[in-house]
Amino acid sequence: MAHDYIFVDQFSGSVVHTVYFLKDFPGYRVSRFNRSIHTGDIWGAPGHPIASLFSHLLVCNGCYGIGDFAKEIRLSVRYLTIGGVTPITT
């Protein structure tokens, strides 16, 4: 599997430790799988531009949300009622 790795002694070349992805802790496996999804590795070469596009769209969505929130604040201040009386604004 692509996520397996080994530690090799640099002087002797013998294997010091081996970590198998499928035999590792489930939480670690979920974490690695989540990283693969978010970096686009799970879909191969076409997945990298797709993941990049979604990252950019997420930023645009956040900017739109901030602008929409500011618009709502302006509208709520314009139509604010104080003690049942709406102040006159120009």
**30-67 burial: b if 16+ Cβ within 10 Å, else e:** eeeeeebeeebbeeeeeeeeebeeeeeeeeeeeeeeee
Q: State the chain's mean pLDDT as an integer.
A: 78
Q: State pTM to two decimals.
A: 0.41
Number of domains in the chain: 2
Residues 31 and 62 in one domain: no
Domain hosting 4: range is 1-39
pLDDT in tens, 66-83: 888 888 777 666 666 555
Residues 24 and 56 in one domain: no
The pLDDT of residue 90:
56
